[in-house]
Structures are given as C-alpha cells and as structure tokens.
Structure 1
C-alpha cells in the first residue's frame, strides 16, 4: 500500500539542522510529523509543493524573545516571526515574564515595554499556560519565569534593596511551582532597576528551585559594558551553584570604549564551557534596544526613540534631534519622553561577527513587539543571518547558519523532536530561497517582511506564505523542556 501524505515538498535542498551537509530530496508530512525524507516519487499527497532546489530547513527557533503577550493575541500577531521562518519562540527573558504576578497599575520599566498594563492578570504559570492552550498562537512557545516578576510578586514596589530571606524563599517557591506547571527555567535581568539591587546570593537562593530539575538559568547579565568579565563570572557562579545549565542572553560588548573586547569575553566563556554547560544567544545588529532610561544618554551613542507614552509622536525620531528641538540636554529630553523605549547604537561590528561565528552562539531576535517603531531585529533577524552574514559576507556556511537557528537551539533548550529534519520529528518547516533571502526591515522602516522566505509550517500546518501573508491557523503549542539534567561540558563543535 502506497503511503499517502498530507504534504510533500519535492526537489528541495534539505538542510537538516544538525550542521550536516545539504542534500537534494523530498520531504513528506502526515499530520504534525515528518513522515518520510528522500526520493518520494512513488508517494502521493493532498498537497504538493515544488521546491525547485530551494532550501527546506527546520523551522527557526527564536532563542530570545519578549513575545509573552503577543503569543496570546492570535495567530496574525506573529507575522513578524512566521515571515522570518520562525516556528518556536522562547518567552520570559531578561527577568520579565507575564506570570506568576498580577499588577493593578503600570509595571516599572522595563516590564512595561514587554507587556501592556492590562495583561498582568496571571497569578500562576498554570493560568498563563491555560490561556495559551485555549487561544493558541501561530508558533510554538517555550516559557521562562522572570526574576523581576518574582521580585515584584514578593516585594511589591520596594525593590531598591536585597530581598529578605523570607522574600527569597517566597520567590523560590513560586519558581518551583511554575517549573512543575511547565516553565523551563529562570531568567534574570540584573542590569535593570527592579533587579539591580539583588545580590548574587539572592539570585542563588531563588534559583535553588532549579536544582535537579534540568531547568535553565538564562540571564541578561548585570553589566555588558565595562564590567562584562565580572558579570560573566557572576553568571557562571550562579548557574554552577544550583547545577543549572547557563545561557547568557544577547552577548555583547556595549559602549564604544568596550568595542573589541569579545577577544576577552569569548575565551573566558570557553574556559567555563569546557567544564560546564554554557551557551549564549545573540542578534545580528550593532544596536541594542531597551527602556530609554536604562542607560544615561551620551553624545557618542546615537539613540532612536521606539515608543513614548507622553509623546507617541516622537517614535522613530533621534533623541539628539528631539533634544535640539526642545532646547534641552539629552538627559532632560529622555526624562521628558519616559515611559519610553529606545534603540542604542552602542556595539561594534567586529564583535557582532566574532560572537556570531563562535561555536557556542545561537540566534535570538530580542525584538520588542509592543514598540510603535521597533528595532528591525523584530522582523529581520533570521533572514539577516542567512543573507547578509552567511551568503554575502561568508562568515559561515549555510548549514552552520541553519544549525545556530535550529538544532543547536533545540538541543540547548531541551526541545524534543524539533530543530531537525528527521522522520518522526515534528513538521516545523521553512522553505526559503538561499539566493534571495534577505532582511528588508531597517532602522527607518522596521516593519518589513523578509525577502526569500517562501512558506512556513508549524506542526504540519501552513502559517505563512510570502504571496499570501499570515494565515489564521492557530498551529502553535506550549512546549516543555526535556528535563534530563545536562551537567557535562558544552559541545564546542558545530
């Protein structure tokens, strides 16, 4: 009896996500799984797509997002991701998660830039998970629990101090409950005011809930600028103290005086990774984006306003131009705009390339979906790696680029049966043209779909085509981490 598939993509260049060499062949999907790979000329399907040599890869896994709210807002809200070929997002980063805390008033920055005030209604991770299951997104979701959210739940707005032992224990218990309900780890944002007063010992006390669970410790470190080496050491101390695999978020060397220091940071991370599981994500841009008050403005770092509550008309404008127009200093202009967000052009291209090419890296967008004028990484990250950095600059081959977005990320996060093209794996797929794939989102016009992403499938269902845009198919699922503790060294081979 001839196997009949729901979908066959024929004559594709198959890049399987493991880093292995590409090969030509067909791929068949039945239900939500890959049913067959190879020469499927004897098989039939309800729908056949002729790839004509274009690439089929596993759907991209966005290792670092702030999509906590938008995954709850319907499939069409994820066009910024599905149009890049992204099929899974990791939410709850930088210490910010939409659960397990409720708030009756506007949260402090940077939490207010990630989720709107009316969305802080989930007093447990189970409540958030139930909402997501009842209203599925177009993409799969893997969720971390944020230390800032836990802090507010335990300490209210009295955050300019270390937590007491009782408060730290309350946070630990909340984290333990969330892990039992399906969250995959703890994230911190020790750079930001709601958590900057938390000493290392407090974070370790809260992170004790990770011990023996396989849960991850993921961190926006305390300092990515002058004290970046000290912050790496603190990060490793926290993870090792509780036996948790470590992910350093959006690794960078910020501010002009630190450009080039990736020659120091990467060997330091490597030395630790030789003994203990450590990874990092990064995005392919020389500009960061966060709350406008996160860094004191300075003349040698250009800043663009992404959003402003009191002055929404200033979104997309340069802070320096606004200050000149108002006849005030950069600092006074920023204060007048807040609550607000900004794009900070504070990194060096040499560091971006060096960090991206490193074997321990994976790709995360860190986009801000609520911003009126977002950083272009929200719409352009993954095509930019494929087009600009792999094809045009030759930083690494296409197989390595795909691996950093798929198989490596799935392995680090413990996502079973995703991130690879393999019979029996879930049919999260992207079809793209390697010759034309490119990001179109720019700092001037950030909301632009990419070129060359032909179609995206999540769990076997088509969620995006370049010709037709986003579908209204709620194909995504809430994912859990394979909880097998990973306690050995990080693999350095790609």
Structure 2
C-alpha cells in the first residue's frame, strides 16, 4: 500500500514488523490515526504529526497478559507500571476463580481471595459496578474481566467446605448471568484452592451451561497440578466438553519432584483433546509459582519465600525455613504465625517449563501478584524473559512465534476482537522493542525491576511509555463481551 489520504497521528517508519500471526518479520511502515492502525507498507509519501524511525527495532502488537490478578491494580487510573514496562497493553483479570465482584462489602475473604486485595477492594456487589468503576477512571491498559467461581461461592454460601446446594447453584447462576450481561468475557475456577475445593464437577458444569449461549470462555486453575495432574486435566476436558464451552488451562505446570518430566505426557493429552475440543493453555517462564501462603503448597516445595505477611512484615522476602529456624518452631507453626501471608514456591523443573512454554499452543500469562512487598519477579519480567531468554538465547522458538503466543493467539483464544495483530482496522496497541537487548532484569531478590529493551508502548493509539518515561495518560478500555439478547 502507498499511503493514506490523511496525515497520520503516529507513523512508525522502517521498522521490523512482527505482526502477531507468526509470519516472517518484514520491513515497513505502520500508520495510526486516532486509536486504530490504518495503513501498513511503504508510507514514505505521507506525513504524520509524529514519526518514529525504526533503526533496527521491532514493532509488534501490544502483548496480552492472559493470566493476571490485576483486578484491583487496574482501578483508580493506575499506570500499571509492572505490565506497561514489559510491553503489555491488555490484561485479563478474574483468574483462578478470584474476582473482585460480585461480592458485598464486608464479606469474608478466605485465602486466596486476599491475593488481589483486602476488604476495601471488594466493594462491588454486582459485576456491572466493577466495570463502571474501571470505565469511570480508566487504567493505562486495556482490561478484559472474567468472573470468579470462588467469589460466587463466597457470595452465596454460608460454608465453603461442602458442595453447593441446588438453591445456592441457582443463586450463583443469577450472579453469573449478571456478570455475562455486564460484559464478562468468561468464568474462571480455582478448584485447587480451599474456597472451591469441595465443588464437584456437577456444580461447575451447571455454571458452565450458562456460558455456552454467550460465547464466553472457561479458564481453570485445576483441582490438582501435582500427583493427580492427569486426572485433573481429564476432569477439565470432560466438564468443558459436556457444556460445549472453550477451555483454557491456567498456568500449566508439573508440581513436585515426583512429577518432573510429566509434561511429555500432558502435552500429548492436549494434542489429542484438541482434535475434538477447543482447548488452550497458558504458562509463565519460571520454575517457581506464587500464591497465598498455604501449608499444602509448602509441602510440595524445595524452597519457599515469604512475599508478604500482615503480622510479620519484617520477614517479607525471607526464606520460610530460615524464619522457622530463628523462631525455633516447626514450619507449620511458622506458617500459622505468618498468616495471612503470601509466598513464592519453588516446585517445578526447568525442562518442563521450557517444554510447556515452547509448545505451539501455549499462550503467555504472568500470573503476577501485584500485592505484596516482595512479589514474584514474573510480575515485572515475564514477556521480555520469553523474548530474550527462551526465544533469542535458548532458541526454543523464533521471535515471531514468541510474539504470536503473546498476541494473536491470546486474542483469538479469548475472543478479543480487533486486537493482537498489526493489521489495518485493528486497535493501535503496539510495542517497539530491541530484539537484541530485550530481557527481564527482575529477580527473586530484587523483583520490582523494569525489563530492558522495551523502547515504546502505545495503547489505543496513545504513547504511554517511551525511553523509560511513563506518560500519565489513561487510554485503556474495558474489553467487554457483547451482551446476549
């Protein structure tokens, strides 16, 4: 193409275009007017209000973080620095069965609901109220919200250590439908965690039946990711198939030394089930996970770090075993004294992580927890780590394929229209980066550290980050699923 009849608001000249489809890099120009990409190709005859020259830099669609817990971080016009500085332009919230709504203020917050906020953050009795809060004071980035099954359970049940009754399921269905009508893009479950552990497949299926007519997706932190990993995958596949809904397995992993290497078999399971079902998965590029501090998770791990503790903040960032030794008590007693708290859990093998991250159908999700004094470094480093370490340095995939996982694959799987590709008519969510230097710098010792190599980030046509400087603007949008009629 040769140009556009109107001068562009933003024009990237002579950049290496990685368009998100997985296709080969091509050199060219990209023109933006308002919040859309309007032209791609040789635009040398047309001017622009602002021009950026490539100089060996790559231009990609803004990265989509498919697995976040940014529900509270996104409120009140937050610049969302941990995500923005690694090239993320869209976050999907409401994962692992946990969402800020619908829940009446003052409701109990059993772990892990407390990983995304405290009682002041849970102030939205309807999903619509949460969406309206995001729209009233938009964040810097786009937010695509899901509704959490555990939040629904807390909202309607007096006890969580049992299956829901038929009347409680009916009450959850009403809340779920309100969320879908308010634009929720899907339902998530966290069947591993105590608030939903006693929910049988039939309870989940009843809620999933509400999704089928709406086009919403189902994501799950499965019932088990260690000794019963394969059984949990089968349960997830079967439940989603019975409801005829698209399924996404969250942060696929093989926990515990006994299960290291199991990804050889689990990925074959994905290959097989994808022949007859719509099934996706996401992963993060680290051998440690993070969540609330839970005794059953500690048992799986070779090492545990405290990320935050309400009664003992002096131990934030410290090794749990060392704290127990100083207190001259058992690990179990130390956990009791630290609660409520959060932790980083070292329980995976690098070979499994590499195998899962490079699997063609795996999306990238940080699973970062913005709450806490010493968060897991994945909050700040996930996407540059995949690009720099796993694609460029280890050559587990091409840079084009890595970008595809973070962009078009994510947009297609979660049904986010007009995003995830550099294409005419798509929203101008863009990231300009240096393929030679892009890398994560966040560590477990210094987790809140910006990535290197991200030169510019554009959200809906607005430049938000350039040369390390964040502009205090809020162009983010709530990405809603269209309400059913």
Q: TM-score range by the shorter chain?
A: over 0.9
Deviations 1:224-273 (A, max 9, x none): 00000010011012111211100000000001111100011111122111
Q: Report the more deviating stretch, 287-296 or 420-429.
A: 287-296
Indicate yes or no: 2:147 matched with 1:145.
yes
Indicate yes or no: 2:442 matched with 1:429.
no
Q: Report the more deviating stretch, 431-440 or 323-332.
A: 323-332
Deviations 1:375-407 (A, max 9, x none): 000000000000000000000000000000000
Report the alpha carbon displacement of residue 189 of structure 1 after superposing the two structures with TM: 0.2
- The SS at the match of 1:449 is coil
Distance in 2 of aligned mates of 1:210 and 1:346: 34
Distance in 1 of aligned mates of 2:59 and 2:297: 45
Distance in 2 of aligned mates of 1:106 and 1:85: 35
After the TM superposition, which residues 278-427 of structure 1 pair with which residues of structure 2 at under 5 Å, given as runs?
278-293=279-294, 295-298=296-299, 301-427=302-428
Distance in 1 of aligned mates of 2:295 and 2:53: 49
Indicate yes or no: 2:274 matched with 1:273.
yes
Deviations 1:455-476 (A, max 9, x none): 10000001112331x2211110
Equivalent residues of 2:287, 2:350 under 8 A apart: yes
Change (3 A) 1:268 1:294: farther
2:81 counterpart residue number: 79
Runs of 5+ in structure 2 lacking a partner? none
Equivalent residues of 2:105, 2:125 under 8 A apart: no
Equivalent residues of 2:142, 2:477 under 8 A apart: yes
- The SS at the match of 1:379 is helix
1:38 counterpart residue number: 41
Equivalent residues of 1:365, 1:377 under 8 A apart: yes
TM (norm. structure 1) is 0.95
Report the alpha carbon displacement of residue 481 of structure 1 after superposing the two structures with TM: 3.6
Indicate yes or no: 2:25 matched with 1:12.
no
2:245 counterpart residue number: 244
- The SS at the match of 2:179 is helix
Distance in 2 of aligned mates of 1:16 and 1:269: 26
After the TM superposition, which residues 133-212 of structure 1 pair with which residues of structure 2 at under 5 Å, given as runs?
133-156=135-158, 158-212=159-213
CA RMSD, Structure 1 to Structure 2 (Å) = 1.4
Change (3 A) 1:299 1:75: closer
Distance in 2 of aligned mates of 1:234 and 1:298: 24
Distance in 2 of aligned mates of 1:63 and 1:215: 15
Distance in 2 of aligned mates of 1:53 and 1:483: 43
Report the alpha carbon displacement of residue 73 of structure 1 after superposing the two structures with TM: 3.0
2:218 counterpart residue number: 217
- The SS at the match of 1:169 is helix
Large movers: runs of 4+ above 4 Å: none
After the TM superposition, which residues 118-133 of structure 1 pair with which residues of structure 2 at under 5 Å, given as runs?
118-133=120-135
Change (3 A) 1:300 1:424: closer
Change (3 A) 1:133 1:366: same
- The SS at the match of 2:252 is coil
Report the alpha carbon displacement of residue 295 of structure 1 after superposing the two structures with TM: 2.5
- The SS at the match of 1:75 is coil
Equivalent residues of 1:172, 1:207 under 8 A apart: no
Report the alpha carbon displacement of residue 299 of structure 1 after superposing the two structures with TM: 8.7
Equivalent residues of 1:66, 1:91 under 8 A apart: yes
Q: Report the more deviating stretch, 63-72 or 288-297.
A: 288-297
Change (3 A) 1:147 1:2: closer
Runs of 5+ in structure 1 lacking a partner? 485-494
Distance in 1 of aligned mates of 2:123 and 2:109: 12
2:58 counterpart residue number: 55
TM (norm. structure 2) is 0.97
Indicate yes or no: 2:28 matched with 1:25.
yes
Size of the aligned set, in residue pairs, is 481
